[in-house]
Amino acid sequence: MYDQWTLSNGLRVIGERMPHIRSCTVGIWLPVGSALEDSRNNGLSHFIEHMLFKGTEKRSARIIAEEMDSVGGHLNAFTGKECTCIHAKVLDENLSMAIDILSDLVLHSLFTHEDIDKERLVILEEIAMNEDTPEDVVHEMLASAQFCQKTYGMPILGTECNITRFKRSDIQSFYNLHYCPSQTVISIAGNYSPDEFITQIDSVFGQWKNTLVPKPQIKTETLSGTKTTREKDIEQLHICLGFPGLSMQDERNTALSVFNNVVGGSVSSRLFQHIREDLGLVYSVYSYPSFYTCCGTFTIYAGASPQKANEVLTLIQNEVAAVKKNGIHPAEVNKAKAMLRNAYLLALESPTARMHASGRSILHLGYTRTHEEELHRINNISVDDIQEVTALLLSEPVVLSVLGRAVDIFN
C-alpha cells in the first residue's frame, strides 16, 4: 500500500512504509536528462546534478558531506537519459535531517563561478575515465547510431567541448527551465511517520514556485539500421547489436524482460552458456532491454579478441535467427519467469529499490502498480506473448557498433 500526496504547487509525493526496518531512503526525481538536450546544451543535466552538491546558502560542500557522514548516511545522485535523482539513505531517526539537506541542495544551490570552474575539471576527468572504459564507450556508440545523435543518442556526460565552454548563465537558465515542483516527484520507502513526513515536505517544498514555461517534450525518434566502428588500441573488440524495444508504457515490456532472461540476461541464458561456457570464446556476453517513455531498445553485447570477434558475432546472429525461426521452449519461459519473479521479490527487501521503483514510475507514467499487480503480470506471461515480442523486435534491421583494434574486419 502506498501513501500518496500532491502539494498545492503540483509536487507529487509517494511513500511506501516498511515498519520492520530502521532505515529510510528518500529521493527527489526530476524529468531532466540527456534525452532533453541538443548538441548545444548536451551535458547540462549532468553538470547541474554535480553542482547541487557544491554549496548552498547555508551549507558548504564540506558541511554537506560532514553532516551526512556524521549520521552514517549515504547521499548521492545520478543523471540518466530521462531523469535526474538526488537521494539519501539514513536511519529513521535522521530522516528530518536528510529531508532538510535534500531540499537545501535542490532549492538553494549557489552555482558560484568558482565552484563551476572546479567541477568543470571533475566532469572532464569523468569523461576521460569513461573513455578508458571501452565497454561503456561502445554502448554510447550504439545509442548514437540508433538515434542519429539525437535524444536518447546523446551522451549523459556531455562532450568535452560543451563542458569546457558552459557558463554560469547556461547552468542557471537550464536549472530555472527544468527544476520546478509540478514536474518533480519525491519518493520515500522505509520506516517513517506519514503525517510527520508530509508536514516537513510541505514546509520545505510547499513555497517552491512553478515556472511559466511548458514542460519540454522528448521527440520520438525512429531507430536507424546502421553500422558504426571506431579504432581504439585496446586488447579486445567490443561489439554491440541494437534492436528496437518497447516503451515503459507498453504492456508487453514484461514479456520482453522474460525474453531477455532466456536470450542473454542471465548466466544460464542461451548466449552465455553457448558462447562462454561451451566454447570459451568470451569472458562477457549479455543482453538487456532499455525502456524509455516513448520508445525502447534491446541490446546484445560481447567482448572478444580480434581473432575470435567475427566468430562471436556470427554465433550471436545465428542465435537471434534461431529464436526468430523456432521460438522459445515453454520450459525456458517458465524458468525465466521464475527468475524475474524471484528477483522482484528479493528487491522488495531493499527500501532503496522500492524508492527507485515508485519514484521512477510516478515520474514517467503518473502511476505505480502494486506488488501483487507486478507479480500477476509476470506469472501471466505465455509462450505466445514471447513469440509476439520476438516477431516484433527481431524483424527490424540490426544496428551494429564495434570498438577496438582491426575494426576494418567488420567493414
* CB neighbourhood size of 95 (10 A): 24
Look at strands 399-404 and 2-6 and give their pairing.
unpaired
The strand pairing partners of 284, in sequence order, are 303
Let me know if 358 is exposed, middle or buried by CB neighbors in 10 A (0-12, 13-18, 19+): buried
DSSP string, 183-202: G-EEEEEES--HHHHHHHHH
CA 364 to CA 343: how far, in whole Å?
22
Q: How far is CA 380 from CA 115, 125, 195, 258, 334, in A?
A: 52, 47, 37, 11, 10
To the query of whether residue 49 is one of the catalytic residues in this protein, the response is: yes
Residue whose C-alpha cell reads 516503451 in the numeric block? 247
Given a contact cutoff of 8 angstroms between Cβ atoms, the answer to whether 137 and 221 are in contact is no
Strand order in the sheet with 12-17: 2-6, 12-17, 185-190, 23-30, 84-91, 74-79
CA 142 to CA 240: how far, in whole Å?
7
Q: Which of 49, 67, 82, 319 is catalytic?
A: 49
Cell of 379: 506469472
**DSSP helix/strand/coil, 149:** coil
Given a contact cutoff of 8 angstroms between Cβ atoms, the answer to whether 191 and 21 are in contact is yes
The strand pairing partners of 238, in sequence order, are 303, 403
**For 223-270, what is the HEC assignment?**
CCCCEEEEECCCCCEEEEEEEECCCCCCCCHHHHHHHHHHHCCCCCCH
Given a contact cutoff of 8 angstroms between Cβ atoms, the answer to whether 370 and 233 are in contact is no
* CB neighbourhood size of 129 (10 A): 11
The closest of 135, 393, 408 to 282, measured between CA atoms, is 135
CA 18 to CA 2: how far, in whole Å?
11
Question: What is the set of active-site residues?
Answer: 49
